[in-house]
Amino acid sequence: MNNDFTFSIIKPNAVRTGKTGPILAMINEGGFEIAAMRLVKMTLSQAESFYMVHKERPFFEGLVEFMTSGPVVVLILKRENAVEAFRKLIGATNPAKAEPGTIRKTFAVSVQMNAVHGSDSPENAANEANFFFSGIERFF
């Protein structure tokens, strides 16, 4: 996958409170096309595996518990310079530090429950997309 694509998750707090539609609207308004989309509920071992890079961090256990607390929407998004542009659209990890108008500033309720995930590099975007989607589910 090149930098025309990124991978995102609408996190359980946002799905649970009916923010899926408003977040998808912001994603589209940000110039992203939806290239793949599915609603899934991760098992503990799937969430641990997805967040493996953070396994030594103090927030790891709470994070996997939160990410398995309900369904999430997983997405592959298409846009020029997708990874960087999407990180800008979602804002800082800590919503208190996120710019006004970003998805996290608008919908996050805490650092942990920060509404959306966005890949941090094209390599990770490809790996994360492959974790959730098979070839036949991709419209690009």
Q: Kindly list the catalytic residues.
A: 117
For ligand IDP, the closer CB: 20 or 112:
112
Closest of 13, 35, 12, 14 to residue 23, by C-alpha: 14
Q: Please report the sign of the dihedral spanned by the C-alpha atoms of residue 82, residue 137, residue 47, residue 22.
A: positive
Please state, in angstroms and rounded to a whole number, the distance separating the CA atoms of residues 120 and 39. 22
For ligand IDP, the closer CB: 111 or 126:
111
User: In the bound complex, what is the minimum distance in angstroms from residue 135's beta carbon to ligand IDP?
Assistant: 26
Sheet of strand 72-78: strand arrangement? 33-40, 72-78, 5-10, 116-118
Which partner, Mg ion, ligand IDP, none, binds residue 140 by CB below 5 to 8 Å per kind?
Answer: none
For Mg ion, the closer CB: 86 or 107:
86
Which partner, ligand IDP, Mg ion, none, binds residue 111 by CB below 5 to 8 Å per kind?
Answer: ligand IDP
Q: Which residue is nearest to ligand IDP (CB)?
A: 93
User: In the bound complex, what is the minimum distance in angstroms from residue 105's beta carbon to ligand IDP?
Assistant: 13
Please return the burial class of 117, using the count of CB atoms within 10 Å of its CB with bins 0-12, 13-18 and 19+.
buried
Which partner, Mg ion, ligand IDP, none, binds residue 114 by CB below 5 to 8 Å per kind?
Answer: ligand IDP
Closest of 69, 87, 86 to residue 78, by C-alpha: 86
Q: Which residues pair with 5 in a beta bridge?
A: 78
Using rule CB under 6 A, residue 46 touches ligand IDP: no
What residue ranges bind ligand IDP (CB under 6 A)?
54, 59, 63, 93, 111-112, 114, 117, 120
